[in-house]
Structure 1
Amino acid sequence: MPRKGMRSVCFSPKISSSFFSPPSPLRIGFSPSHPSISDSVMDRTLEIAEPVIVKWDPETTTFARVTSLFYENRREAREFIKTVNNLQKAMHFIVKEDSGSEKLVRAQNLMQIAMKRLQKEFYQILSMNRAHLDPESVSTRSSRTSTGSSTSYNEDEDDDDVIRAADDSITEVEDASLSAMADLKLIAECMISSGYAKECLKIYKIIRKSIVDEGIYKLGVEKLTSSQIHKMDWESVELRIKNWLNAVRTAVKTLFNGERILSDHVFASSDSIRESCFAEITKDGATLLFAFPENVAKHSKKWPEKVFRVLDMYAGISNYWPEIDSIFSFESTIPIKSQALTSLVKLGEFVRAALHDFESAIQKDSTKSPVAGAGNHNLTIDAMEYLTNLADYSSILSDILADSPPETKKLMPESYFGFSDTEESPAPAISLKMAWLILVLLCKLDTKAKYYKDVSLAYLFLANNLQYVVVKVQTSNLRYILGDEWLTNHKSKIKQFAANYERLGWGHVIDSLSSVNPTAEDTPPEKVKETFKKFNASFEQAYKKQGVCVVPDNKLRDYIKVSIARKIIRLYREFYNAHRQKMVGERNSAVVVRYAPEDVGHHLSDLFFGNIESGSSSSFSSPSPSHSQPRRSAD
């Protein structure tokens, strides 16, 4: 142990009224320079201190070398600390009067012995109580504020009594943790007040930094350079992201929080010491933890499917930002918070770029083959799966998109978005973004509908795909993002598409019955016969063509079938009931009157499952009207 000289002697401690105070020379009638006062104070102090300190000199006795003062007898340990504090005060008093005093040199030697002892004790408590002083045990304490006050040292009070009084329900592990923390604080305050702060901090920083670094390593956070991440395949990066997501909560809530509590408690007597100590202990581990998301965001391709892991990392920082801000509140830890904020910024940029790439991918989709049966396009399914998953991150996306709203309002009229967005009541940025992305999808689907040669199928395709979009919105968080007005507007568009499909696909069937008055009894038989044949041909033609169509959504399927059936069957039943008897005597009447109204309903009920082969004659091998047995009418 190097000799400290007068540095230790001249350090001015904060003197508590509970500590030993030498008598004031003025109060007993002597001048401050009177030698008898200094000598008597130092003589008495040395007489008390020397046997106490020498007993625990690790250089002179085997007992002191192999035995821990604080583990052997904690009451004697408190007396040792009290003795050292009194010795330091006496030295401070006498140095002002006689800095060359032989007694001062003697006291200084005793002080060095005491500091060696306390260094040894400080190291032993830190190293032997790693389990009891692990961040998880320490962080279970209610708050850093209560930690500083609940275990403050009082020389006149037994530490064990203080601990028991603090919480009767305390566990054994917490009890050991509190005892170790109280002892560390006691030693630290004594060494700091005696001018040995550097030696105390060196021990503390080495041991506690190793614990933090080991904790980060055990949490699976690797030290990876930007170039290393850039060279990895996405599966490897994703695995490390998962490790990071599991690690960040434990690191913030337990590891760093526990270290802050411990350093605040042990070095409560000095704000500057506890700040520098905590900053040095956590700097490397915290920087490594909070730099990883930045490296991922900067050096990964902005593929849309990667955005969810990036959003998870954004949430991993933003959700714990209040704790991060509180734990790293020192000025010296600002670089750590800056790193966390930088990662948030880079992650946000990644998300915005990925959304832009997603939009571009929709616009660049080049598939031209019509979907069989005018069903749902894979682009619709994939895009809405992506958007509904994005909607689960609505709060995070709101933060990311708040500062950079899309420029869609300049490109499209307000009505295109499906909800109101005025200057008086502006829509949130996330609502505009989601509405815009769905609009891009619908515009692309409108382009793909043009690949159908039959316009009726084009409208059914649009109805199917818009129904899929609306259902996805209605059954996900997109509903809360886009609102009921958006849903109402787009449901109305589905009905418009369905009506257009019905008009173009089945209008000629309805028209075949409109050439005669269905209930006019004076209609000539030839006209009736012609109408029956015209209906048969148009119905069979429509049935065969539309029989390959699919409507995957049950509600939309029933809506379209019921709408068609109500129009066709109503007219046909009136005509059938009014004129069927006129055809009874006709030759091949069964061919002329091919369908009863129930048969028409049966055929319509089979539609939109995509299982009717176009051109199959078997589809129309219905029994004669007189023998037809109704199954289920769509009327």
Structure 2
Amino acid sequence: MAEDGEEKLLATVQHIAKTLGRTGTMTEDILKVFSNYDGRLSLDKLYAAAAAAGGGAGEHSMPASSPPPALPSAPAPMPPVTSLERTVRTLDRQISQFVTMDRLVWADSADADAFLEAVDDLIGTVQELDAAGTNRGLLDRADELLSRCMARLEDEFRALIERPDDAAPAAPGGFDSEESEDEGYDADDGYGDEPIPIAKPVSDFDVVIDALPPGSVSDVHQIARRMVDAGFGRECAEAYAAARRGFIDESVARLGIRPRTSDEVHSLPWEELEFDIARWIPAFKMVFRILIPSERRLSDRVFDGLAPYGDLAFVAAVRTQALQLISFGDAVSAASRAPERLFRVIDMYEAVRDLLPDLDPVFADPYSAALRAEVSAVCNTLGSSIKGIFMELENLIRRDPARVAVPGGGIHPITRYVMNYLRAACGSRQTLEEVMEGDLGALGVAVDPDRPTSSLAVHIAWIMDVLHKNLEAKSKIYRDPPLASIFLMNNGKYIIHKVNDSELGVLLGDEWMKQMSSRVRRWSMEYQRGAWSKVMSVLQTGGSGFNSLPAKAMLQKLQMFNSYLEEIRAAQSEWVVIDEQLRADVRAAIADSVIPAYKGLIARLRSSEEVEQDLFIKYTPEDIEACIQHLFEGFAK
């Protein structure tokens, strides 16, 4: 009796569905609604009842307005159910339980396998329906179910990337399962208060970050393959990039890098900007040597065999942080080119230049080639900035005013600054040679055939010429020409010392050194002629020497000599020759000129019987020698 009641109930439901359903798809939807409300009205029973009734008719014959019989004894036949329709209905039931699941499907490996199997069947069914092209309504229904599948798969995909421990799948023999799950993976980071695993700063750049365990990589690869097969490859790539961006952003933030606009970079005090550059250099190396190659490796594994979506995913994931670092380099290049910035800019240039070859395999695809070009471009702009800084150094030397004379004719601060600056710069000679290459003739001067002709050598030689002209202009401040010669001599000798003691000697060459040494000797002779001309004029005699002079004339010469010597001692008491060897050489040259002549004068006076010579001989030759040996000590005396 109960069976008769169930049959009547099934027949009634079929009649209602037939009456209200204008199409086969609508009828199926109505039957599905009934099946959800009563276990006796399962779709299988409804379809079986329709088949038992001999459903072979095509369209429904009963008009929609006809009243249903109270208790039909022979239900009207249902439309024929094809195998594809049964497949879609079955997949709908199977997939719906996974799509509506309130936990991760991948938390249970059996559920994950069943879901993927159902997705594979659905994709195949959609392709078969699309190829047949005979049942548009069923195809639309299958497409809608596929969209729901893809939405759920995308959620699972992102969750597995962002929170791999939430799924904790067991993946024996999975994708790259031979690798240790602890390789490059810091389990101490946790996923509680800090849900994203972070790449920690390192100094060894020959490492790879495995941000996901191998089992998770295998799972997301399986999902990616289904999404690509279903025509959702671009959505999968976007989901991947969105999931990985958090990891990359947090990793860069851990390196202490904060975004700076170009205006901020230009307005920052140099001390603060220098601090930012000091952080940028290791961060740039970390990101482009470890983080980005690791991201390339991960995207290649996730999208293995799914080109070009792996390339799209990789670029979308790393582009923001890569461009942020690149834009900082561009901003520094376009900022002030004050000479003190040279060394930090060289450091930046070398950091970018050294990693360029390693980027070729990382940015080999057409989608990331633009990023490789951006890195190359910032290397070029940093190189241009270095050349601009050298030009600014020349301008700085030219603009340095000749206002105050250096006491005692010592070394001018501009000389110390320029020579120590160039000496330090030549510590990066190879880099500077590389940057300057191709600039021969750019200075607008002819290249001396006897001078080293590398681009850097020409730049350095030109700067030295500018410095020399500046020092000559400064020497004119001194009212006493011999002191001006002392000034040039001191600065010239200092330049020679700094050139000999560094790579500058190699760049400027032997010929330049000979010319500079010749200038120092000339300035030394000019000093001697200018400062001791009166003394030497007194001591000079005719061909027969002092013997031809009367005693009174010799006394007059002696008195004049004493006066001139005391004048020199008073005027030159604060004059200084910095270099010890140069000081000794100048003293020796003076002594060689003065003392023999003075001894001749004293000897002639002492041999004369016309005067009491001891009353007029104030200084012995030894006194003159001591006087000369105390010259050029300046304030140290």
* TM-score calculated relative to the size of structure 2: 0.67
Partner of 2:632: 608
Alignment CA distance shift 1:338-1:390 (3 Å): same
CA distance in 2, matches of 1:399, 1:235: 28
1:611 is paired with a residue of what secondary structure? helix
Match among 569, 581, 597 for residue 543 of structure 1: 569
1:273 aligns with 2:288: no
Report matched runs for 1:499-510 at 5 Å: 499-510=525-536
* Amino acid of the structure 2 residue aligned with 1:435: A
8 Å contact from structure 2 (residues 551, 610) kept in 1: no
* Amino acid of the structure 1 residue aligned with 2:393: F
Partner of 1:432: 458
Match among 97, 100, 104 for residue 59 of structure 1: 100
2:502 is paired with a residue of what secondary structure? coil
1:594 aligns with 2:619: yes
- Deviations, residues 135-168 of structure 1 (Å, cap 9, x unaligned): xxxxxxxxxxxxxxxxxxxx9x8249x644x589
CA distance in 1, matches of 2:358, 2:407: 55
1:124 aligns with 2:182: no
- Deviations, residues 210-259 of structure 1 (Å, cap 9, x unaligned): 33334444445444444444555545544444443343222212232222
CA distance in 1, matches of 2:520, 2:324: 52
Alignment CA distance shift 1:361-1:197 (3 Å): closer
Partner of 2:220: 184
Partner of 2:249: 213
Alignment CA distance shift 1:508-1:259 (3 Å): same
Report matched runs for 1:311-350 at 5 Å: 311-350=346-385
1:292 aligns with 2:309: no
Partner of 1:456: 482
Match among 249, 255, 261 for residue 297 of structure 2: 261
Q: Percent identity, please.
A: 24
CA distance in 2, matches of 1:501, 1:444: 20
Number of residue pairs the alignment of both structures matches? 530
Kindly report the root-mean-square deviation, in angstroms, between the aligned alpha carbons of the 2 structures: 4.9
Partner of 1:564: 590
Deviation at 1:278, TM superposition (A): 1.6
8 Å contact from structure 2 (residues 426, 504) kept in 1: yes
1:383 aligns with 2:418: yes
CA distance in 2, matches of 1:171, 1:397: 38
Alignment CA distance shift 1:172-1:403 (3 Å): closer
* Amino acid of the structure 1 residue aligned with 2:397: I
Gaps of 5+ in 2: 1-81, 187-208
8 Å contact from structure 1 (residues 435, 482) kept in 2: yes
Partner of 1:619: none
Q: Which moved more, 1:308-317 or 1:276-285?
A: 308-317
CA distance in 2, matches of 1:250, 1:518: 86
Partner of 1:158: 173
CA distance in 2, matches of 1:78, 1:582: 127
Report matched runs for 1:69-148 at 5 Å: 69=106, 118-129=153-164
- Deviations, residues 157-190 of structure 1 (Å, cap 9, x unaligned): 8249x644x5899567578644433443343234
Partner of 2:287: 251
1:552 aligns with 2:574: no
Alignment CA distance shift 1:172-1:367 (3 Å): closer
Alignment CA distance shift 1:195-1:335 (3 Å): closer
CA distance in 2, matches of 1:376, 1:95: 90
8 Å contact from structure 1 (residues 505, 546) kept in 2: no
CA distance in 1, matches of 2:274, 2:229: 51
Partner of 1:35: none
Deviation at 1:290, TM superposition (A): 1.2
Deviation at 1:464, TM superposition (A): 0.8
Deviation at 1:275, TM superposition (A): 1.6
Alignment CA distance shift 1:98-1:294 (3 Å): closer
CA distance in 2, matches of 1:129, 1:107: 31
Alignment CA distance shift 1:400-1:523 (3 Å): same
* Amino acid of the structure 2 residue aligned with 1:420: D
Larger radius of gyration: 2
Deviation at 1:462, TM superposition (A): 1.0
Alignment CA distance shift 1:79-1:358 (3 Å): same
CA distance in 2, matches of 1:194, 1:433: 63
8 Å contact from structure 2 (residues 546, 600) kept in 1: no
CA distance in 2, matches of 1:266, 1:502: 83
Gaps of 5+ in 1: 1-38, 132-154, 614-635
CA distance in 2, matches of 1:451, 1:356: 27
Q: Which moved more, 1:382-391 or 1:427-436?
A: 382-391
* Amino acid of the structure 2 residue aligned with 1:592: I
Deviation at 1:314, TM superposition (A): 3.5
Partner of 1:33: none
CA distance in 1, matches of 2:580, 2:160: 71
Alignment CA distance shift 1:182-1:567 (3 Å): farther
8 Å contact from structure 1 (residues 291, 339) kept in 2: no
CA distance in 1, matches of 2:401, 2:458: 26
Partner of 2:402: 367
CA distance in 1, matches of 2:462, 2:165: 56
Deviation at 1:262, TM superposition (A): 1.6
* TM-score calculated relative to the size of structure 1: 0.68
Alignment CA distance shift 1:549-1:202 (3 Å): same
Q: Which moved more, 1:493-502 or 1:309-318?
A: 309-318
- Deviations, residues 118-145 of structure 1 (Å, cap 9, x unaligned): 54543332112499xxxxxxxxxxxxxx
Q: Which moved more, 1:166-175 or 1:396-405?
A: 166-175
8 Å contact from structure 2 (residues 104, 156) kept in 1: no
8 Å contact from structure 1 (residues 188, 197) kept in 2: yes
* Amino acid of the structure 2 residue aligned with 1:610: G
Partner of 1:283: 319
Match among 460, 469, 477 for residue 443 of structure 1: 469
CA distance in 2, matches of 1:81, 1:549: 93
* Amino acid of the structure 1 residue aligned with 2:293: N
Q: Which moved more, 1:384-393 or 1:541-550?
A: 384-393
8 Å contact from structure 2 (residues 349, 382) kept in 1: yes
8 Å contact from structure 2 (residues 333, 382) kept in 1: yes
Which gives a bigger RCO, structure 1 or 2 (Cα 8 Å, sep 6+)?
1
8 Å contact from structure 1 (residues 505, 542) kept in 2: yes
Alignment CA distance shift 1:129-1:560 (3 Å): farther
Partner of 1:487: 513
8 Å contact from structure 2 (residues 352, 379) kept in 1: yes
CA distance in 2, matches of 1:102, 1:380: 89
- Deviations, residues 391-447 of structure 1 (Å, cap 9, x unaligned): 34444443443344455554x6x56xxx725xxxx7122211111111011012112
